[in-house]
Chain A
Amino acid sequence: MASVVFQHVVKKFGAFTAVSDLNLEVRDKKLLVLLGPSGCGKTTTMRMVAGLEEVTAGDIFIGSDRVNGVLPKYRDVAMVFQSYALYPHLSVADNIGYPLKIRKVPEDKRRRMIMEVARRVELDGLLDRLPKQLSGGQRQRVALARAIIRTPKVFLMDEPLSNLDAKLRVQMRAELKHLQHELQVTTIYVTHDQIEAMTLADRVAVMNKGVIEQLGTPREIYNDPRTLFVAGFIGSPPMNLIDGEVKDGVFTSPGGIRVDGLGSASVARAVLGVRPEDIHVIPAGGAKANIAAPIYSVELTGESTLVTVRAGAALLAVRADKNFAGDYDQIVQVGFSPERAFVFDRQSQERVDF
């Protein structure tokens, strides 16, 4: 078991900087999710741990070993690829046993370990099949089994669930979480799916353009976004972000939204952020409405109703009660408590505390 530490890691592909000055510690036995949009450098970061990419500058440590320039086979990491990367010419058993075969583990011991791992991921009946004869979920399990058969120092998972259908993804997510808890192996998990990140992670590192925007527990990332990017990226539906101006603690937007009680902050180009579930539809005559606006659309999601209202040029999403009823262009009043709102500086993209 080991921690993984990045110190001032830089990765360039020609003139393009994929990762710039990355400092990060993945704690022993914990699961860290690298979360970000495609091209943000998260996969490159993971591949540098595996040794599939060489760092341009900086150091990577696995445990106490500096692994710069060490061949992948000596890093003792296991990786689950997005495409699973099962060897199409080998049976399920041979796929799972490949890492052991390479390490010259004796045949009988190997077979025993394959059986054991296969039972754990419920593949025992399929060991003689070829990968192409398996369903997507089964292939995913084979990839997992191949990774866990030799209890490596670090698991690397590159969007392992993204090729599964929605239902299976939820199921596999729970299995993954349980497995990681059981095996107690340090894990780096790359995904662009924030729900996966929230549900799986001990800590999440949100990456954007080769830089970590924020590192924290899922709850911190959600409740306390430090940058505009993190605020917009986390949450579904995403946080409402409204451009406007803050003067002496009062936010006003061109669309007619007004929020009082933002301390004594003043920001010339401000962005007000507030999550849809923190905004409420206020019955007619209620006092603390922030805006009265026409309904743009009403979407019933089941456990709630997503109401979008038009505030000038901007649209404002509101999570309302599941019994909410309203028609297009009907004027409704919506409001929220200023404590649930965030103010960001458009210039620096950072959050402004108040």
Chain B
Amino acid sequence: MAHRRKSIEIQRVAAYATIAVALVVTLFPVYWIAANSFKYDIDIFSIPPQWIPANPTLKHYRAAFIERPFLIYALNSLIIAVSTTLVSVVFGSLAGYALARFQYPGRWRYQISFWILSTRMMPPIVTIIPLYIAFNHLGMLNTKPAVIIAYTAFNLPFATWMMKSYFQDLPVELEEAAMVDGDTRLGAFLHVALPLARPGLAATAIFCLIISWNEFLLALILTLTERSQTLPIGIAGRVTQYNTYWGEISAAGFTACIPIVIFAFVVQKHLVRGISFGAVKG
């Protein structure tokens, strides 16, 4: 018995050790980009590496956000992410509710749902060329609305499916009670279903925000001017063939991570449920 207990102890220690290693591996790269963003160039290039910045400086942040237009990039990213999220959540909730609650002839409910999901399977590289040409024709290249429209198409299938599952989980009697109490169907949706689906709205919104904030390929192709580009594109722009501005991209890269990290901890409950849920049900 004692022998058995000892082997369980060893297992436990090994497990904790593995988890500790996983944590270090997970966190070190994030730490490293942060550390480098606060170092002078000479310290970035030092051999051996300087594990902790010896002379911390905000030089690169100043360079990126004051001398170079990273503030504009960040602002663009923010505007685009928020607008995309708003549109996706509104349209997604409407469609999700319609798919969750109404009657359809034959297998239409299934067909429509599946079609919406299948649009998400299309690799973005496939749709990006025609989008580029269309926006070019419409004179919308290098504008935020173009990026927002493209991102909405990208986010909507997910938002619709997620909201559909949330609405399906709500007891239908609540809306029926509202209708008998004197509401229209639309009123029941607005007064009862929507307030109750708030966790779903939050999870969906978080997802759309993260995806839009991070997106790279569509923005790369639809925006070419400094005034219209987003943070990821701005960062990539500082990795040139001839030179990589390490300090600057570290500062900008770390800045791009900060809202996500804060976000992740503020809304962790929704996040865990959202990811597992989106993948399991969608």
Residues of B within 8 A of A129 (CB): none
Interface string of B137-179 (1 = CB under 8 A from A): 0000000000000000000000000000000000101101111
- Stretch of B88-96, B180-188, B209-217 that contacts chain A: B180-188
Contact status of A81 and B177, CB under 8 A, knowing A71-B184, A102-B187? yes
Measured between C-beta atoms, what is the minimum distance from B173 to chain A in Å? Answer: 4
Complex contact A89–B183 (CB within 8 A): no
User: Which of B174, B180, B184, B195 is within 8 Å of A79, CB to CB?
Assistant: B180
User: Which of A50, A88, A103 is within 8 Å of B180, CB to CB?
Assistant: A50
| A256 within 8 Å of B (CB atoms) | no
With CB as the reference atom, state the residue of chain A lying closest to B183: A102
Complex Cα distance, B172 from A52, in Å, reads 11
Measured between C-beta atoms, what is the minimum distance from B66 to chain A in Å? Answer: 47
Residue among A75, A85, A146 with the highest chain B CB neighbour number at 10 A: A85
Residues of B within 8 A of A73 (CB): 179-184
With CB as the reference atom, state the residue of chain A lying closest to B192: A87
User: Which of A52, A89, A102 is within 8 Å of B182, CB to CB?
Assistant: A102
Complex contact A88–B177 (CB within 8 A): no
Measured between C-beta atoms, what is the minimum distance from A200 to chain B in Å? Answer: 21
| A83 within 8 Å of B (CB atoms) | yes
Complex contact B176–A85 (CB within 8 A): yes
Measured between C-beta atoms, what is the minimum distance from B93 to chain A in Å? Answer: 16
Q: Is the interface of B mostly helix, strand, loop or mixed?
A: helix
Complex contact B196–A88 (CB within 8 A): yes
With CB as the reference atom, state the residue of chain A lying closest to B185: A71
Residues of B within 8 A of A99 (CB): 181-182
Complex contact B176–A81 (CB within 8 A): yes
Complex Cα distance, B116 from A126, in Å, reads 46
Q: How many residue-residue contacts, CB under 8 A, span A and B? A: 57
Residue among B171, B182, B183 with the highest chain A CB neighbour number at 10 A: B182
With CB as the reference atom, state the residue of chain A lying closest to B182: A102
Measured between C-beta atoms, what is the minimum distance from B199 to chain A in Å? Answer: 12
Contact status of A52 and B180, CB under 8 A, knowing A83-B173, A85-B173, A89-B196? yes
With CB as the reference atom, state the residue of chain B lying closest to A80: B177
Residues of B within 8 A of A79 (CB): 176-177, 180
Interface string of A73-106 (1 = CB under 8 A from B): 1010111011101011100000000110011000
| A255 within 8 Å of B (CB atoms) | no
Complex Cα distance, B173 from A83, in Å, reads 8
Complex Cα distance, B180 from A82, in Å, reads 14
Complex contact B176–A98 (CB within 8 A): no
Complex Cα distance, B178 from A5, in Å, reads 24
| A72 within 8 Å of B (CB atoms) | yes
Residues of A within 8 A of B196 (CB): 88-89
| A137 within 8 Å of B (CB atoms) | no
Complex Cα distance, B222 from A213, in Å, reads 70
Residues of A within 8 A of B177 (CB): 79, 81, 85, 87, 146
Interface string of B185-207 (1 = CB under 8 A from A): 00100001001100000000000
Complex contact A78–B171 (CB within 8 A): no
User: Which of A52, A71, A75, A103 is within 8 Å of B176, CB to CB?
Assistant: A52
Complex Cα distance, B174 from A89, in Å, reads 11
Complex contact B173–A98 (CB within 8 A): no
Complex contact B178–A51 (CB within 8 A): no
Residues of B within 8 A of A72 (CB): 176, 179-180
Complex Cα distance, B182 from A22, in Å, reads 27
With CB as the reference atom, state the residue of chain A lying closest to B196: A89
Complex contact B182–A85 (CB within 8 A): no
Complex Cα distance, B226 from A329, in Å, reads 98
Residues of A within 8 A of B178 (CB): 87, 98, 102
Complex contact A87–B182 (CB within 8 A): no
Complex contact A98–B171 (CB within 8 A): no
Complex Cα distance, B195 from A156, in Å, reads 26
Complex Cα distance, B176 from A228, in Å, reads 36
Interface string of A232-249 (1 = CB under 8 A from B): 000000000000000000
Residues of A within 8 A of B176 (CB): 50, 52, 72, 79, 81, 85
Complex contact B171–A83 (CB within 8 A): yes
Residues of B within 8 A of A77 (CB): 180
Residues of B whose CB lies within 8 Å of any CB of A are 171, 173-174, 176-184, 187, 192, 195-196
Q: Write 7 A-B pairs (CB below 8 A) sorted by A numbering.
A: A50-B176, A73-B179, A73-B183, A79-B177, A85-B177, A102-B183, A146-B181
